[in-house]
């Protein structure tokens, strides 16, 4: 049950306490002091002029018609509080949270609400003459006094326009700026972590070494932005346009960059570990010294992350499941994937050099142009797999199931295909020089134009000439 105490005849002010030391009154169990806990207290019509309540928990508290002139409630939690008709004239409310609070008809002349949060609050009919609202946070549910323009007043929220403003070092974490503008603004060293930049205009903005971790920047416009050394870990920039942006040394670990425009962007030295760049546009992008999504250093691949931009989205391990996974160009060198499932996985251009994939299932998988040199795929299932132009030199495919596989112009020089099932397979132009096919099943397979030499070992009774293979 809410406690009610009308204190209109009482006055507690800092002046009245001069010489009494740091003691403050206790009203109905609410100790009026910094960092106190007065959650749900009823201070209706209380006179608390110059009260010190900085950092206090005042959520759900009733300050209906209370007098808090010149009081200090900076950093206090007043979420859901009833402040209808309250007197906060010249009060210090910096950084306080008024989320969902009722401030209808509140007297806020000269009050400092810089950095405070009024998301979902009702400020209708409030008197805000001379109220300081720099970086005051609001959202689409905030109700303002008639005629008050939060955007023009410097408050931050959806649609706010801060083009060219200097935010260097500012703390604006978790702010919602959907559809707003920071074009050409300076945010060097600022903290915007967890903020929403959806569909924002950030062209030519400078966020050097800014904290943008966890930012939602989907479909934002960031052409030519300076994000050198910025922390974008876990940020969602899917569909954003970062054409020509400078991301040198940026931290993009786990960032979502799918369908992002990164044409001519500079990602030199950036950390893209586990970033999602599926369908990202990378024409002209520079990756010198960058760590690619699969952990590869771009310098080891000629200064590019091309072929290494797909985040591994499945369990790449013995017995793991990667069925249907998008792993095109993935770096799986030396991977231990015995008995793993890659059914219908897309591994075009993937690097599986010396991988251990015995008895793995690649049925229907896309492995065209994959690098399979010296890999162990003995007993693996590759039924109807696409192996066109794959490099399988010296690979072990002993006992593998390649029924109906498409391996046109694949390089299987020196490969071990003993006892493999090649029935109905397509081996047009495939290179079998030095390969061992003893005991392989070849019924219905096509070998037209396949290349072999004196070292090639065919199954007993197989006639390569009749199969229209050609010797070299």
Decide if pLDDT at 264 tops 70: yes
Decide if pLDDT at 64 tops 90: yes
Q: What is the H or E stretch that residue 30 is in?
A: strand 30-31
Same domain membership, residue 323 and residue 438:
yes
**Residue where one domain finishes, among candidates 306, 323, 343:** 306
Which pLDDT belongs to residue 7? 37
> Residue 161 domain-assigned?
no
Which pLDDT belongs to residue 10? 38
Size of the chain, expressed as the number of residues it contains: 472
Which pLDDT belongs to residue 394? 97
What are the tokens at 453? Answer: 């030499």
Alpha-carbon gap, residue 329 to 309, rounded angstroms? 7
Distance of CA 229 to the CA centre of its chain: 17
Output the domain CATH number for residue 183. Answer: 2.160.20.80
Confidence label for 313 from pLDDT (cuts 50, 70 and 90): low
> Residue 163 domain-assigned?
no
Q: What is the DSSP string of 333-388?
A: TT-B-TT-B-TT-B-TT-B-TT-B-TT-B-TT-B-TT-B-TT-B-TT-B-TT-B-T
What are the tokens at 118? Answer: 């009024």
> Residue 221 domain-assigned?
yes
Same domain membership, residue 328 and residue 433:
yes
Decide if pLDDT at 4 tops 70: no
* Among the listed residues 282, 283, 281, 300, the one whose alpha carbon sits nearest the alpha carbon of residue 291: 300
pLDDT tens for residues 401-450? Answer: 999 999 999 999 999 999 999 999 999 999 999 999 999 999 999 999 99
> Residue 160 domain-assigned?
no
Decide if pLDDT at 65 tops 70: yes
Same domain membership, residue 117 and residue 23:
yes
What are residue 126's DSSP bridge partners? none
Same domain membership, residue 106 and residue 205:
no
pLDDT tens for residues 204-235? Answer: 999 999 999 999 999 999 999 999 999 999 99
> Residue 433 domain-assigned?
yes
Angle at 165 between CA 159 and CA 169, to 5 degrees: 105
Same domain membership, residue 427 and residue 409:
yes
What are the tokens at 456? Answer: 């090639």
Same domain membership, residue 467 and residue 426:
yes
Same domain membership, residue 338 and residue 422:
yes
Which pLDDT belongs to residue 8? 37
Q: Is 189 exposed, middle or buried (0-12, 13-18, 19+ CB in 10 A)?
A: middle
Same domain membership, residue 260 and residue 391:
no
> Residue 162 domain-assigned?
no
What pTM was computed for the model? Answer: 0.60
* Among the listed residues 278, 265, 181, 282, the one whose alpha carbon sits nearest the alpha carbon of residue 230: 265
Same domain membership, residue 470 and residue 321:
yes
**Total domains in the fold of the chain:** 3
Confidence label for 41 from pLDDT (cuts 50, 70 and 90): very high
pLDDT tens for residues 139-166? Answer: 999 999 999 998 888 899 998 888 998 9
Same domain membership, residue 339 and residue 273:
no
Same domain membership, residue 302 and residue 366:
no
**Residue where one domain finishes, among candidates 266, 287, 306:** 306
Looking at residue 62, the DSSP 8-state letter turns out to be: B
Which pLDDT belongs to residue 308? 62
**Residue where one domain finishes, among candidates 306, 322, 342:** 306
**Structural domain containing residue 299:** 169-306
Backbone phi, then psi, for 187, in 5-degree steps?
-125, 30
Q: What is the pLDDT of the chain when averaged over all its residues?
A: 90
Q: Are 198 and 220 in contact (CB under 8 A)?
A: yes
> Residue 282 domain-assigned?
yes
Which pLDDT belongs to residue 15? 39
> Residue 164 domain-assigned?
no
Which pLDDT belongs to residue 24? 62
Confidence label for 459 from pLDDT (cuts 50, 70 and 90): very high
Q: Which residue has the higher pLDDT, 106 or 334?
A: 106
Find the mean pLDDT for residues 324-334.
Answer: 82
Decide if pLDDT at 274 tops 90: no
Find the mean pLDDT for residues 121-140.
Answer: 95
Alpha helices in 104-176 (DSSP H): 150-153
Output the domain CATH number for residue 77. Answer: 2.160.20
Which pLDDT belongs to residue 3? 34
Same domain membership, residue 327 and residue 237:
no
Which pLDDT belongs to residue 53? 95
């Amino acid at each position: 049950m809410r406690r009610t105490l009308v204190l209109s005849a009482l006055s507690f002010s800092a002046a009245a306490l001069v010489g009494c030391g740091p003691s403050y009154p206790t009203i109905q169990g609410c100790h009026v002091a910094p960092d106190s806990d007065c959650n749900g207290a009823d201070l209706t019509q209380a006179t608390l002029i110059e009260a010190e309540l900085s950092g206090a928990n005042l959520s759900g508290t009733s300050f209906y018609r209370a007098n808090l002139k010149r009081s200090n409630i900076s950093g206090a939690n007043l979420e859901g509080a009833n402040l209808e008709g309250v007197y906060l004239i010249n009060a210090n409310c910096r950084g306080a949270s008024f989320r969902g609070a009722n401030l209808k008809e509140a007297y806020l002349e000269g009050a400092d609400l810089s950095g405070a949060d009024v998301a979902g609050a009702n400020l209708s009919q409030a008197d805000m003459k001379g109220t300081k609202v720099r970086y005051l946070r609001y959202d689409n549910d905030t109700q303002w006094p008639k005629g008050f323009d939060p955007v023009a007043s410097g408050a931050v929220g959806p649609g706010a326009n801060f083009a060219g403003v200097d935010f260097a070092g500012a703390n604006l974490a978790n702010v919602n700026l959907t559809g707003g503008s920071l074009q050409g603004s300076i945010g060097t060293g600022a903290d915007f972590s967890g903020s929403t930049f959806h569909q924002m205009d950030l062209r030519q903005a400078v966020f050097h070494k800014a904290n943008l971790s966890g930012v939602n920047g989907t479909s934002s416009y960031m052409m030519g932005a300076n994000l050198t050394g910025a922390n974008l870990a876990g940020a969602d920039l899917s569909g954003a346009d970062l054409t020509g942006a400078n991301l040198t040394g940026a931290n993009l670990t786990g960032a979502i960059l799918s369908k992002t425009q990164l044409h001519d962007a500079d990602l030199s030295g950036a950390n893209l570990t586990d970033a999602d760049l599926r369908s990202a546009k990378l024409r002209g992008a520079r990756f010198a010294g960058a760590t690619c999504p699969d952990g590869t250093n771009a310098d080891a691949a000629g200064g590019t992350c091309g072929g290494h931009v797909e985040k591994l989205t499945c369990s790449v391990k013995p017995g793991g499941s990667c069925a249907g996974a998008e792993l095109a160009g993935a770096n799986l060198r030396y991977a231990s994937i015995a008995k793993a499932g890659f059914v219908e996985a897309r591994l075009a251009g993937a690097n599986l050099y010396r991988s251990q994939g015995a008895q793995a299932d690649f049925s229907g998988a896309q492995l065209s142009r994959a690098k399979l040199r010296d890999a162990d795929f003995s007993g693996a299932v590759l039924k109807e797999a696409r192996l066109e132009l794959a490099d399988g030199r010296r690979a072990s495919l002993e006992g593998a199931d390649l029924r109906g596989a498409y391996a046109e112009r694949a390089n299987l020089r020196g490969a071990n295909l003993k006892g493999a099932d090649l029935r109905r397979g397509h081996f047009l132009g495939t290179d079998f020089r030095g390969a061992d096919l003893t005991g392989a099943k070849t019924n219905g397979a096509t070998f037209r134009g396949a290349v072999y030499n004196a070292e090639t070992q065919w199954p007993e009774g197989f006639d390569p000439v009749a199969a229209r293979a050609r010797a070299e």
